[in-house]
Structure 1
Amino acid sequence: MREEKGVIIRTLQEDINNLKIEQASTLHQLSSTLSHLSSTLSQVADLQHEQNALRQELRKEQNQRLTIQEEVNRLKSKGCQCDNSSRNSTLLPHDIQTVKEAITFDLQLEMKQQNDSIMSEMSRMEKDVRDVKAKIRATAMTISGLVSSVSDLQTQIYFSAGTIRDVNKQWKTNEIIVFPHVLANVGGGYDASSGVFTVPKSGVYVLTCFLSTHSSSMYAKLILNGNPVVGITAVTNDVSDVDTGGNAMVSRFQQDDRIWIQFYIGHFLWTMSDASVSTFSGFLL
C-alpha cells in the first residue's frame, strides 16, 4: 500500500512539473506575441506618417493646381484682350489662341495624372492600414486568450494532510476524521482544524484518501456537502495486525463545495511517529 501511495505522490509531482513547463511555454508564447504586436504598431505609425505626408503633398498639388488655374484664367483673359486688339492690329500672331489652348490642355493633363497617382497611393495606404488594424485585432484576441491561459495555469490548487501520531481514541460513527499534519495547502482550501476541504475554485479535482487501522477493520466515507460519495475500507482480523485501505475519485466540483472524510465503522487509526500513514489529498486538474 505504501508503494501505491508513493506512485500517487510521484504522479502528483509529475503533474505539477508538467503544469510549470506548460506555464513557461505559454509565457514564452505571450512574450513573442507582444513583440509581434509592438512591431505591428510601429508599422501602423509609419503608415500613418506616410499617409500624412501624402496628404500634405496632395494639398500642395491642389494649391499648385489653383495657382495654375488662376494663371490659365489670366492667360484666357489676356487672350481675349489680344483677340480684340488683333482686329485693329496686324502685329499680334493669329495663332495665340491655339497656343493658349495647348498650354491649358497640357497643364490640366499633368494635374490629372498627378492627382490620379496620389489618390491611388492613398487608396493603397488605406488598405494597408485596414490590414494592419485587422492584424492588431487578431493579435489582441490571441493575447487575451494567452493571458486567460496563463491566469488558469497560475491558479494552482492542491493539498495533502495526514497525521504522525496515533489517534488513540474510539471513533464515533459519522465523526469527521481530522488530518492535522499539513504537507501542502496551495490555495488555502484545507482546514487542518476541522478536516474539511472547501473548494477554492470550480473545476475538475482529483481526491485521494488512505487510512491505516489496527485492532479491527474500519470503514469510512468521502463526504461532499453532507452526502457520501466513495467509501474507504481497511480490513484486519487481529489486534496486532495493521492494514491500510484507500480510494480515489475524479469529479467536477463547484466553488465553496465542502469535502471531508467521515468515520463509519471501526476503532483506531494507526500512524507512525515520523511519517504520515493516513492521508487526505487532492488537486485541481
Structure 2
Amino acid sequence: MGLAILLLTASVCLTASLPVEPQSWLSLVEQLLKKMVRMELNVEAMHKEMQQARDQVTSGLREVDNMKQTVGALQTYFTDNINKSDTVIAFNAHTIVNTSSTHGQVIVFSNPLYNIGSAYDSGAGIFTAPFTGVYLFSAHFCIGSANSWYYAFVVDSKQKIKGLHYNANTDCSTATTTVVLKHNERLWIECTVSNTNDIFLNDNKTYYRNTFSGALLHRVENYP
C-alpha cells in the first residue's frame, strides 16, 4: 500500500501542474490504485504459496530423514538375522533304548539320523542348547495296543508340556512344542507315569518309527 500512496501523491501533484481535466486524472489515479491493490494482493498470495511450498519441502526433507533412519534400522535388523540364521542346530534320532517306562525316566532315542551342531546327546537322550533362542521339538511315539503312555517335555527338571497317549489298538501319535531355551539349558522327554509293559513298538523301517527331533528356529539376544 505504500507504493499506492506514493503514486496517489505523485498523481495529485501532476493534476495540479498539468493542463488536464482534474476529473480525468482522478479517474486515471483510481484505475492505477485498483491495479496496485490487485498487484499487492497477488504478491501476498504468491508469498503465502511460497511459504506453503517451503513448509512442504521442509516436511518432505524430514520424511526423507525418517525414511533413511528406518531403512538403516531394517538393514541392521536383516543383517543381524542373516548372520544368526547361518547358525544351524538340528537333530533327529530314533530307536528307544528301553521300551518299558518308569516314572521320571528319560526316554533315550539312541540312533541319530543327523545331529548338526552336536547338541543332542544320544547316550543320555538330552538336548543342550548351544545358544539362547527359540527351539522347535517334536516326538513321534508308536504305542502297542491297550497301553497308555504319559510323558512330558522337561527343561532342567521343570515340565514344560505334558501329554497322554492311549489307544485300544496299535497307534502312533506326535507331540510338538516350541520352547525358549537359554544357553546351556537342557531339554528331554520324560515318563510321568510308570508302565512295566513294553509300551513302545520296536522300530519298523517300512511302517513306523519312534523319533525325537529338534531344531533352532531363531537365536535371541538379551533374553531375560
TM-score (norm 1): 0.44
**Post-superposition offset of 1:150:** 3.8
**Residues 1-285 of structure 1 aligned to structure 2 (within 5 Å):** 148-163=80-95, 169-215=99-145, 216-237=147-168, 241-265=169-193, 266=195, 267=197, 268-274=199-205, 277-285=209-217
Q: In structure 1, how many angstroms separate the alpha carbons of the residues matched to 2:159 and 2:215?
A: 20
User: 3-state DSSP class of the match of 2:184?
Assistant: coil
| Matching residue's letter, 2:123 | S
**Post-superposition offset of 1:144:** 7.2
Q: In structure 2, how many angstroms separate the alpha carbons of the residues matched to 1:221 and 1:142?
A: 39
**Which structure exhibits the higher relative contact order, with contacts defined as CA atoms closer than 8 Å and separated by 6 or more residues?**
2
Gaps of 5+ in 1: 1-139
Q: In structure 1, how many angstroms separate the alpha carbons of the residues matched to 2:119 and 2:172?
A: 26
Question: CA contact under 8 A between 1:210 and 1:232: conserved in structure 2?
Answer: no
Aligned-residue identity in percent: 25
Question: CA contact under 8 A between 2:203 and 2:210: conserved in structure 1?
Answer: no
Gaps of 5+ in 2: 1-71, 218-224
Structure with a larger share of its residues in strand: 2
User: 3-state DSSP class of the match of 2:167?
Assistant: coil
- Compared CA separation, residues 147 and 270, structure 1 to 2 (3 A): same
**Post-superposition offset of 1:147:** 5.7
- Compared CA separation, residues 221 and 168, structure 1 to 2 (3 A): closer
**Post-superposition offset of 1:148:** 3.7
Partner of 1:97: none
- Compared CA separation, residues 196 and 143, structure 1 to 2 (3 A): same
Q: In structure 1, how many angstroms separate the alpha carbons of the residues matched to 2:160 and 2:176?
A: 11
TM-score (norm 2): 0.55
- Compared CA separation, residues 184 and 174, structure 1 to 2 (3 A): same
- Compared CA separation, residues 169 and 155, structure 1 to 2 (3 A): closer
Question: CA contact under 8 A between 2:97 and 2:110: conserved in structure 1?
Answer: no
